[in-house]
Each structure stands twice: as C-alpha cells, then as structure tokens.
Amino acid sequence: MTAITRPPDHPDAALRAEALESLLLERGLIDPKVVDGLISRYENDVGPMNGARVVAKAWTDAEYRRRLLEDGTAAIGELGYSGPQGEYIEVLENTGGVHNVVVCTLCSCYPWPVLGLPPSWYKDPAYRSRIVREPRRVLAEMGLELDDDVDIRVWDSSSEVRYLVLPERPEGTADLSEEELAALVTRDAMVGVGRVTPP
C-alpha cells in the first residue's frame, strides 16, 4: 500500500482556517463580533464551574437534588445554564454502590452548558473505544480504582440526551459552604472518570 497522504499542497489547518474566514468575511456571511463572542463565551463563561455549582447545590439542598434528578434540564436551568448541547440533560447519581461514567463513541457529545467543551481525552479514540468495553480497566488507568462490588454503568450519548454525573459528596466537608464545595468539584468527577476529594 502506498502511504495515504494528502495532496502535497494541502495547507495546514491554521492557514485553512484563515482562508475559510477570509472567504466567509468577504461574502458577508459571518460577523467577526459573533465569532469572537462565541469563542470568548466558551473560553470564559461556559465550563465545568457551571456544573460544579449545580453539584454543590444538589449536595446542600435536598429539594434541589430531588428536582435535579427528576428533571435535570429544568433544575440546571434554574441556575441559568442552558444553550447548545443542553436541550435535554439527565443527571446520573453516583453512590457508594453505583458508579456512572459518560462517553460518546460516535462523535464527542458532551453537556456543554454545564461542562463547557470536552477535554482532549474525551474526544480521543482510546477513551471512546475502550470505556464501553473495559470501563473498570480504563478508569483504573485514569486513576480511579473502584471496588469490585461497585456496579459500573456506562452511558453512550447516542441521541440528543446529554448526561451529567452527580458525584458523591466527599466525607469531611460538612462545614463547607456551597461555594467552597463547588470549588472541589472537578470536570472529571462530573464525567465519571474521577471522584471528588476533600480539600
């Protein structure tokens, strides 16, 4: 087999992006302010700190927790989080005996309003291929050792439903405020590849 390569004149991605922008601008099809606004929004405003606030509130407000597990989209909306890739969000509750973990094997679907854009490992073939076949091993490789009797549930995001994992509240955090709790909650814990550790 001859090696599969692109045409020798295939410009690199940075130059192709610039070329595409120039063509779209020239035709008046995009507004640079909209483009910059979108980028800034996902660089600064939409990220795992949103999900962390949802989780911290669920840990400190039993009634909110109930609503969150019953209708994730609505309860998340109460905190002002909604938008693309958040049309319908279901929240999966981790307990001592049940561990949920989320993937999208076909592309990289991810609940943007609460977690922002996905990290590289979530989009990489190794995670997408293996977490649905040997989750316990993959989680251990990622640093999360689960007891043998933990019931592992893997969720492949194959429709427009998006999943957020509600991690367990760590012990020794009874004195922490909702805000302090939110600072502990990691993206990895809300995808299900980590747990929240006490400060």
Partner 1 sequence: MDGIHDMGGTQGWGTVKVPADEPVFGEPWEAKAFAYGALSARLSGQNLDAMRHAIDRQHPHDYLADGYYGRWLACVETMLVDSGVLAPGAVVARARKLRGEDVTEPPDPTPNKPDYQPTAGGSLRQVDTPPRFAVGDRVRTKAHAHAGHTRLPRYTRSHTGTVAAIHPAQVLPDTHAHFVAENAQHVYAVAFDATELWGDGAEPFTLTLDLYDDYLEPVE
Q: Which residues are catalytic?
A: 104, 107-109
Q: Is 60 or 108 the residue whose CB approaches a second copy more closely?
A: 108
Q: Do 146 and 152 form a contact (C-beta atoms < 8 A)?
A: yes
Q: What is the DSSP letter of 103?
A: E
Q: Is 77 or 119 the residue whose CB approaches a second copy more closely?
A: 119
**Looking at 69, 71, 93, 123, which residue binds a second copy (CB under 8 A)?**
123
Nearest Cα neighbor of 86 from 124, 44, 34, 51 is 51
Q: Which stretch binds a second copy (CB under 8 A): 1-9, 52-60, 139-147, 166-174?
A: 1-9
| Residue window 97-136: x/- pattern of binding to partner 1, with contact defined by CB under 8 A | --------xxxx-------xx-xxx-xxxxxxxx-xxxxx
Residue 125, classed as helix, strand or coil, is helix
**Looking at 19, 74, 95, 177, which residue binds partner 1 (CB under 8 A)?**
19
**Does 49 interact with partner 1 (rule: CB under 8 A)?**
no
Cα-Cα-Cα-Cα dihedral sign, residues 49, 54, 55, 57:
positive
Q: What is the smallest separation between the CB atom of 102 and a second copy, expressed in angstroms?
A: 17
Near a second copy in 124-143, by CB under 8 A = 124-125
Q: Is 128 or 162 the residue whose CB approaches a second copy more closely?
A: 128
For 154-168, letters b (16+ CB in 10 Å) and e give: bbebeeeebbbbbbb
User: What phi-psi label fits residue 184: left (phi over 0), alpha (psi between -120 and 50 degrees) or beta?
Assistant: alpha
**Does 67 interact with partner 1 (rule: CB under 8 A)?**
no
Strands 98-103 and 151-156, by their bridges, are: parallel
**Does 1 interact with partner 1 (rule: CB under 8 A)?**
yes
Q: Is 88 or 121 the residue whose CB approaches a second copy more closely?
A: 121
